[in-house]
Chains A and B, each alone.
Chain A
Amino acid sequence: MSDETKTATRHKPPAATVRQRSQRELVLRRFLRHKAAVVSLVLFAAVVLLAFAGGALWRYDYADITSAVSVPPSLEHPFGTDNLGHDTFAQVLRGTQRSIEIALLIALLAGLVGTLWGAFSGYYRGITDSVMMRIADLVLTLPLLAVAAVLTRGTSGSWWFVALVIASLQWAYVSRVVRGVVLSLREKEYVEASRALGATDRWIIFRHLIPNALGPIIVNVTILVAAAILVETALSFLGLGVQPPDTSLGLLVSEADTAVSTRPWLFYFPGAFIVVIALTINFIGDGLRDAFDPTQRKVRT
Chain B
Amino acid sequence: MTPIVLTFTFRRLLISIPVIVASTFVVFLLVTLSGDPLANLKGRNPPPSPQVIAVEAHRLYLDQPVLQRYWTWMTGVLRGDFGPSVRTNLDIGHEIAARFGVTLRLVAVAVVLALLLAVVVGVLSAVKQYSGIDYGFTFAAFLFLSMPSFWFAVLLKQGGISLNQLVGDQVVYTIGERSVVVDGGAWAQLADAAGHMVLPTVSLALISFGAWSRFQRASMLDVLNSDYVLFARAKGLTRRRVVVRHALRTALIPMTTVTALDFASLISGAVITETVFQWRGLGDFLVTSINQRDAYAVLAWLLVVAVAVIVFNLIADLLYALLDPRIRYE
Chain A interface (Cβ < 8 Å from any Cβ of B)? 2-3, 6, 36, 134, 137-138, 141-143, 145-147, 149-150, 153, 226, 229-230, 233-234, 237-238, 250, 253-254, 257, 260-261, 267, 271, 274-275, 278-279, 281-283, 286, 298-301
Contact = CB atoms under 8 A, between A and B. Distances in A.
Contacts of B22: 134, 138
B195 interface: no
Interface in B103-153: 129-130, 138-139, 142-143, 145-151
Given A233-B150, A271-B151, A274-B151, A147 B275 contact: no
A144 to B, nearest CB: 9
B146 A279 contact: yes
Interface string B73-93: 000000000000000000000
Given A149-B34, A234-B150, A253-B148, A283 B287 contact: no
Contact of A141 (B149, B290, B309): B309
Given A137-B19, A298-B221, A282 B142 contact: yes
A278 B18 contact: no
Query: Which DSSP category, helix, strand, loop or mixed, fits chain B's interface?
Result: helix
B149 A301 contact: no
Given A145-B290, A150-B30, A298-B129, A282 B221 contact: no
A230 B149 contact: yes
Interface string B49-76: 0000000000000000000000000000
Contacts of A257: 154
Contacts of B254: 2
Nearest to A281: B146
B19 A134 contact: yes
A153 B36 CA distance: 12
Interface of B: 18-20, 22-23, 26-27, 30-31, 33-35, 129-130, 138-139, 142-143, 145-151, 154-155, 158, 161, 211, 214-215, 218, 221, 224-225, 230, 254, 257-258, 261, 268, 271-272, 275, 286-287, 290-291, 298, 301-302, 305-306, 309
A141 B271 contact: no
Contacts of A286: 142
B270 to A, nearest CB: 12
B34 A145 contact: no
A229 B147 CA distance: 10
Contact of B31 (A2, A146, A282): A146
B271 to A, nearest CB: 7
Contacts of A278: 145-148
Contacts of B35: 153
B26 A138 contact: yes
Given A253-B151, A298-B221, 19 more contacts: A2-B254, A134-B18, A141-B23, A141-B309, A146-B27, A147-B30, A150-B31, A153-B34, A226-B145, A237-B272, A260-B154, A271-B151, A278-B147, A279-B142, A279-B143, A279-B145, A282-B145, A300-B130, A301-B230
A250 B277 CA distance: 18
Contacts of A261: 158, 161
Contact of B150 (A149, A150, A254, A299): A254
Contact of B298 (A137, A146, A275): A146
A134 B19 CA distance: 7
A68 B236 CA distance: 72
Contacts of A230: 146-149
Contacts of A298: 129, 221, 225
A2 B290 contact: no
A149 B291 CA distance: 8
B83 to A, nearest CB: 16
B27 A226 contact: no
A143 B258 CA distance: 21
B158 A260 contact: yes
Contacts of B146: 226, 230, 274-275, 278-279, 281-282
Contacts of B218: 3, 6
B148 A274 contact: yes
B290 A146 contact: yes
10 contacts: A138-B23, A143-B301, A149-B34, A149-B291, A153-B34, A234-B272, A238-B271, A253-B150, A257-B154, A282-B142
A16 B27 CA distance: 50
A299 B23 CA distance: 45
